[in-house]
Amino acid sequence: MDVAGLSLFFGMGWLAARIDIKELITESSALPRSYFQGLNFLLNEQQDQAIEAFIEVVKVDPQTVELHFALGSLFRRRGEVDRAIRMHLNLVERTDLEEDKRHQALFELAQDYLKAGILDRAEAAFLELHGTPYEKESLDFLLEIYQKEKDWLKAIDIGQRLTALTGEPHGKEAAFFFCELAAGELAAKQTEAAVVHLEQALNVNPQSVRASIMLGDIELSAGGAQRAIEVWKHVEQQDAQYLPLVAERVLQACRQCGDEARGVTLLQTWLQKYPSLDLMNVLFSVLVQRDGAEAAYVMVRNELKRNPTLLGLDKLLEARLLDIAGERRADLELVKDLIFQRTRGLAMYRCKHCGFKARQFYWHCPACHSWESYSPKRSEENGVAI
């Protein structure tokens, strides 16, 4: 580039800089002093003073849309939901607001209502956002609302809409919603309606273990022990780690059929293929009653060699205590008590999403409300520390 070209290049740069600075000075001079005070407060992490300063800006210039949004979101995060609602409602009601800004304001307002627990207004606002860029997020929030309200039919509908919109499957969630509907029908003694819902659950998610377990329960209650066994055996194909949940059920059904030995054999086969503390415990109980303490002890010892766990050791000591007396019994009881204290935390079920622990198994985590987030295995089996 020659000297003339360089001069022109730097001259244009200087002129552009002068124009930018001039525009910046013009725009800055048009802003109220409170705006800069608010920025200063924010930089110094003085949120309360910053909010008051920005509120003054809004009073002076109601057209500051972005500042309305910023204040509304800040109010909601701070738990001042009433103020957030007023801020966003003011935007929604403005007739001169651009459509995309109104959609944004309505989406923020819906979240305010949700945070405040005003679910009917939140629902109406989210529904109004159909066909907007906020539709997917709104459907996610609606799914959350309907689960809170236990409105399972609407939750199923929202799941279908989400699938149509995003292509992401929601059959697993829908299966749980159908199971919840079935549970309600069973509580009202509407067995036929419950069966329909459970079949719908298996239709949207053939791997729904919960639906199979509930269908087997219905069959057993109706006197169809053999049919119940066949339904529960299907759990092995769906997800074998859930077999411990049907172990007691299978034994009960086999007893009703007059063939407990068949149930014991089936459980032994499952335990050999899928090591499980709960399966072992069920077998232990039935073997003690049917074959005596020594048979139960041998079974636990063999399983402990194959799958060593502290919980298994506790069960081994329990088996040995059944046929021992005197001072040796007292010594073993002392050891067992020590191991029991150590293993109490290892016997818990644990949510893989939030880590919440419970002594009973849940399909729906009571802490984070995730579906099927509990492993049917105890914490020790999943390698989780106490």
> Per-domain residue ranges for the chain?
30-166, 283-343, 348-386
Distance CA 188, CA 81 (A): 39
**Among 377, 316, 311, CA closest to 344:** 311
Which of 119, 220, 12 minimizes the C-alpha distance to 127?
Answer: 119
Mean pLDDT value of segment 293-297: 86
Please determine, for residue 329, whether its predicted confidence score (pLDDT) is greater than 90.
no
The whole-number average pLDDT for the span 159-182 is 95
Over 70: is that where the pLDDT of 79 sits? yes
- Is 354 known to sit in a ligand binding site? yes
Q: How far apart are CA 111 and CA 79, in angstroms?
A: 12
CB 312 within 8 A of CB 304: yes
The whole-number average pLDDT for the span 105-116 is 95
**DSSP state, residue 326:** S
User: Half-sphere exposure (CA, 13 Å, Cβ side) for 28?
Assistant: 9
H-run or E-run covering 349: strand 349-350
What percentage of the chain has pLDDT greater than the value 70? Answer: 80
Pair 75, 84: CB distance under 8 Å:
yes
Please tell me the CATH code under which domain 30-166 is placed: 1.25.40.10
**Across the chain, what does the average pLDDT equal?**
82
CA distance 294 to 287: 9
Bridge partners for 174 per DSSP: none
Please say whether the beta carbons of 291 and 360 come within 8 A: no
Q: Select the more confidently predicted residue: 248 or 321.
A: 248
Is 365 annotated as ligand-binding? Answer: yes
User: What are the backbone dihedrals phi and psi of residue 324, each rounded to the nearest 5 degrees, phi first?
Assistant: -135, 150
What is the per-residue pLDDT across 22-41, written as a single tens digit (0 to 9) for each? 443 344 444 555 444 444 54
**179 annotated to a ligand binding site:** no
